[in-house]
Structure 1
Amino acid sequence: MALKTKACYMVKPSEPTWKGYQFLSEWDQTGTITHVPTIYFYRPPEDWVKLGDKIAAIVKQSLSRALVPFYPLAGRLRRLPGHRLELNCNAEGVEFVEAESNLNLDELGDLSRSSEYYYDLHLSPLVDYTRPIHELPLLIVQLTRFACGGFSLGLSISHAVVDGPSALHFLSEWAGLSRGEPLKTMPFLDREILRGDDDVSFGELSCLDHCDFDHLPLLIGQSDNLEEKKKDVTPAFLNVTKEQLEKLKKLANAGRARGTRPYSRYEMLAGHIWRCACKARKHMAEQRTALAICVDVRSRIEPPLPSAYFGNASFDVKAVCSSGELLVCSLGFASSRIREAVEKVTNDYIWSNLKYLKSQKDLSMFQDLHGEESSTDNKELFYGNPNLGVVSWLRLPLHDLDFGWGKEVAMSLDTYDTDFDGDFVLLQNPSGEDGSLIVSVRLQVPHMDSFKKHFYADII
């Protein structure tokens, strides 16, 4: 069942592109700056199966063309003093791996969820973080062919260069080029728009009240998070039906103040997850806990960023509470704390966030990067016990990625990098249009079964 690598090489832009060093905003340089892995599974029509290796050639050729307008992805990062980063647009290219497996797609079980089979197979390309950062490709693509003629397209893309909307803009345009279509929307590559003016005040730092840059809560009795980081973490994918979402909606909105809008899917689901994590982790009532919420600011900042802005235009805000208060109060209370955290992200708040990060002499405490350059005790970024982060991919166009042989039969997050306790992602269920969702979960091994029990207890 082992995966066999057939070839590995660099794919470069098909035409000359601009070369030089490009500014990265503080949001590019902070938070998760590792690679994000995803997998798309395809079961091509019979005539495509007969083409054999031509599928790989089509993918590579269209990728080479896509790297012309999206040339930052063909570059490399460069480390600057103070653990800052700069983008070297040098057209060194994207790493492309061809692999094969003697398995059939049907042997992998439910392709939209992690399974023991393709967890072990590594269907998205591994990233060697022991290499110097200036040698790491920003995008690695792995095409894996299965015995049945089906194949998977695994992608690992650097979060230091793109966020979710930017990554999916690239994938959509790449697939369109592969189908022989022209580029629909050029990426907006001018990151200077977020540099700001040092001589102009974009809101006072006091409007942040610094809560989003304070140390995250630690478990009572602990002075650091090193022991928690060492504990084994396991992944799971939980399905939430339309009926269960309706029950959560009623629970969250019961007692909601008149005149306030109903809680969103994110607010009620994230609140439910937060409360269930506290139960599963058996927190004491006085235990402080934080929930990190990723906010896209493209439409919140003034002037608004172009929708095709290619880079990171989001950052985390925190909702903080005691576990006891979360569990004594209703689901609506947890949802209200999440809403309060998001609603404080005004234009002044956004520019103040950038200004605060820009004022830091060293950004290492705000960065999550594997390898020797990462911080060993990063209180700002460890969202494990007693904390968690809930990211919504519900509005992202993750599916229907057609390179010319039909849309994928399934798409999944990869789970080989399972060392992030408290990492939750909300996903649309691609298996049908029944309104159900999938929650990707990563928790410490002793907490997972208990979390699942509490997660479904109130909504079955």
Structure 2
Amino acid sequence: MAPIIIRNTYTVVPAEPTWTGRFPLAEWDQVGTITHVPTIYFYDKPPDSFQGNVVETLKNSLSRALFHFYPLAGRLRWLPQDRLELDCNAAGVTLIEAESEAELIDFNNFLGTEEFEKLVPQVNYKSPIETIPLFLAQVTKFKCGRISLSVKVSHAVVDGQSALHFLSEWGRIARGEPLETVPFLDRKVLWAGEQLPPFATSPQYEGKEFKEPPLLIGETDCVEERKKETVVAMLKLSKSQLQKLRSKVNTSEYADPARGFTRYEMVTGHVWRCACKARGHSPEQPTGLVISVDARSRVQPPLPRGYFGNATLDVVAASISGELITNELGFAAGKISKAIKNVTNEYVMTGIEYLKNHEDLKEFQDIHTLGSTEGPFYGNPNLGLVSWLTLPMYGLDFGWGQEVYMGPGTNDLDGNSLLLPDKTEDGSLILATCQQVVHMEAFKKHFYEDI
């Protein structure tokens, strides 16, 4: 494929002066993934009716969007005990202009290639954190007229819901429309920088999300597993396949007759069982599944509409492979459902208290383990599955039409998976999953045959 050439790199700052100063981050901002999360959009050639310049349109509207979402134009800085705070200094974000002589025809053949990675802005985490932009975007024009727009957003500042809120409003501004939802920027609703009121510690919260994950039986660390080559696959579940899974899981003895299992619980249980089979676990192998839960509506009072920050927290469902495989799907779905139901207001508040009282947050942050074989919970025998099912993912229009393809950016962590609604809106879903090369074909086989 033709090389991708960087033509210009711009620093984009808010269009008007914004509040400046030190901005405390909430506890949930500072743990787990605090590096940048990538997504990518592909567009057909802009129609003749689009009179503007693509790069200028993006640059000008981005500047105006940053006026409302000014925390994204700031920089992180380290505090003692590996805490972070946000310096709202309007230093700006990065917009890269690139081009390629390639004819972009089939997106699926492009995913996971080295060329694909070059469409996504790169972040050098060896640089001082005070110098790293919190938001980066790259627009690449292809010879065929198609365009890609990839973005990377710091997870220390926003979660998926907030990131997509920003992108949606950026698109609206580019189309000349007013903001739909003004961002709610005050994180003190999650006691950022403040002492929690007296609160009884929840007996259900043990901080296990931050403890050492299970290892393969017989291993003392995960070094060798983390060295193994991985591959990404996008696997579709049709509406009829989902109906088969639903009837299977909701007629099981583990289902709550009044509620049944959700799509996420059902599909994630299926993925967990398939991964255990594909990896060839022994029956007694412990395995953990990381689940991201949005707490916006689970805290009391619920977070304000447009809350701009991190309001998702990780919980872990645990089992042993033999139990997952020999029991019906409802068993795995039930483990997941129970872990999600545990996330109550009390659970969230005692989780915040746990982190506030922890001497050092370094062990909970992925930035310290980049490029090493330590760190994230994912990897054989564990996995994580994040749901994008309820996020406003599609329809990002900057004035030249909606995207023809949207998906996650580069992702090479074994067991790390995403569940997305299919853009066709026919009720089907897409599983984007990363597995070891040696396990992927077996995973695909079980994924479809076990339905």
Distance in 1 (CA, whole Å) between partners of 2:285 and 2:187 is 40
> Alignment partner of 1:206: what SS?
coil
Give the equivalent residue in structure 2 for 1:327: 325
Q: How far has the Cα of 1:366 moved from its partner?
A: 0.8
Q: State which of 424, 430, 433 in structure 1 corresponds to 2:425.
A: 433
Give the equivalent residue in structure 2 for 1:22: 23
Deviates more, 1:245-254 or 1:82-91: 245-254
Q: How far has the Cα of 1:375 moved from its partner?
A: 7.8
Distance in 2 (CA, whole Å) between partners of 1:134 and 1:221 is 42
Distance in 2 (CA, whole Å) between partners of 1:55 and 1:455 is 41
| Structure 1 residue identity aligned to 2:78 | R
Q: How far has the Cα of 1:213 moved from its partner?
A: 3.5
Q: How far has the Cα of 1:258 moved from its partner?
A: 6.1
Change (3 A) 1:375 1:207: farther
Q: How far has the Cα of 1:149 moved from its partner?
A: 1.6
Give the equivalent residue in structure 2 for 1:183: 179
- Do residues 413 (structure 1) and 405 (structure 2) align? no
Distance in 2 (CA, whole Å) between partners of 1:365 and 1:150 is 43
Give the equivalent residue in structure 2 for 1:9: 10
User: 1:150-299 counterparts in 2 under 5 A?
Assistant: 150-195=146-191, 198=195, 200-256=197-253, 257=255, 259-299=257-297
| Structure 1 residue identity aligned to 2:392 | P
Distance in 2 (CA, whole Å) between partners of 1:110 and 1:382 is 28
Change (3 A) 1:278 1:371: closer
Distance in 2 (CA, whole Å) between partners of 1:438 and 1:458 is 17
User: 1:120-159 counterparts in 2 under 5 A?
Assistant: 122-159=118-155
Change (3 A) 1:149 1:220: same
Change (3 A) 1:408 1:329: same
Residues 20-78 of structure 1: CA distance to partner in whole angstroms, max 9, x if unpaired?
11101111000111111111111144315775xx1100110000000001001001110
Give the equivalent residue in structure 1 for 2:382: 387
Change (3 A) 1:110 1:383: closer
Give the equivalent residue in structure 1 for 2:74: 75
Q: How far has the Cα of 1:406 moved from its partner?
A: 1.1
Distance in 2 (CA, whole Å) between partners of 1:49 and 1:313 is 37
Change (3 A) 1:117 1:367: closer
Distance in 2 (CA, whole Å) between partners of 1:48 and 1:139 is 30
Q: State which of 439, 447, 450 in structure 2 corresponds to 1:447.
A: 439
Q: How far has the Cα of 1:125 moved from its partner?
A: 1.0
User: 1:359-370 counterparts in 2 under 5 A?
Assistant: 359-369=357-367
| Structure 2 residue identity aligned to 1:61 | N
Q: How far has the Cα of 1:9 moved from its partner?
A: 1.9
Distance in 2 (CA, whole Å) between partners of 1:175 and 1:376 is 38
| Structure 1 residue identity aligned to 2:91 | E
> Alignment partner of 2:406: what SS?
strand
> Alignment partner of 1:317: what SS?
strand
Structure 2 spans left out of the alignment, 5+ residues: none
Change (3 A) 1:208 1:170: same
Distance in 2 (CA, whole Å) between partners of 1:295 and 1:340 is 12
| CA contact 1:295–1:317 (8 Å) conserved in 2 | yes
> Alignment partner of 1:454: what SS?
helix
| CA contact 1:49–1:149 (8 Å) conserved in 2 | no
> Alignment partner of 2:317: what SS?
strand
**Identity of paired residues, percent?**
52
Q: How far has the Cα of 1:267 moved from its partner?
A: 0.5
| Structure 2 residue identity aligned to 1:72 | P
Q: How far has the Cα of 1:215 moved from its partner?
A: 2.0
* Over 4 Å off, 4+ runs: 48-51
Distance in 1 (CA, whole Å) between partners of 2:364 and 2:43 is 38
Give the equivalent residue in structure 1 for 2:334: 336
> Alignment partner of 2:384: what SS?
strand
> Alignment partner of 1:155: what SS?
strand
Q: How far has the Cα of 1:253 moved from its partner?
A: 1.6
Change (3 A) 1:9 1:370: farther
Q: How far has the Cα of 1:327 moved from its partner?
A: 0.7
> Alignment partner of 2:67: what SS?
coil
Deviates more, 1:362-371 or 1:66-75: 362-371
Residues 296-347 of structure 1: CA distance to partner in whole angstroms, max 9, x if unpaired?
0001001110121100001011110011111111100000000010111111
Q: How far has the Cα of 1:233 moved from its partner?
A: 1.5
Give the equivalent residue in structure 2 for 1:93: 92
| Structure 1 residue identity aligned to 2:330 | G
> Alignment partner of 1:250: what SS?
helix
Distance in 1 (CA, whole Å) between partners of 2:256 and 2:373 is 47
Q: Count the aligned residue pairs.
A: 448
Residues 178-211 of structure 1: CA distance to partner in whole angstroms, max 9, x if unpaired?
0111122210000122117636233314331443
Distance in 1 (CA, whole Å) between partners of 2:425 and 2:385 is 23
Q: How far has the Cα of 1:405 moved from its partner?
A: 1.2
CA RMSD of aligned residues (A): 1.9
| CA contact 2:196–2:353 (8 Å) conserved in 1 | no
Distance in 2 (CA, whole Å) between partners of 1:277 and 1:12 is 45
Give the equivalent residue in structure 2 for 1:65: 64
Distance in 1 (CA, whole Å) between partners of 2:164 and 2:329 is 33
| CA contact 2:378–2:414 (8 Å) conserved in 1 | yes
| Structure 1 residue identity aligned to 2:294 | D
Change (3 A) 1:185 1:229: same
Residues 262-285 of structure 1: CA distance to partner in whole angstroms, max 9, x if unpaired?
111101100000000001111111
Distance in 2 (CA, whole Å) between partners of 1:231 and 1:95 is 33
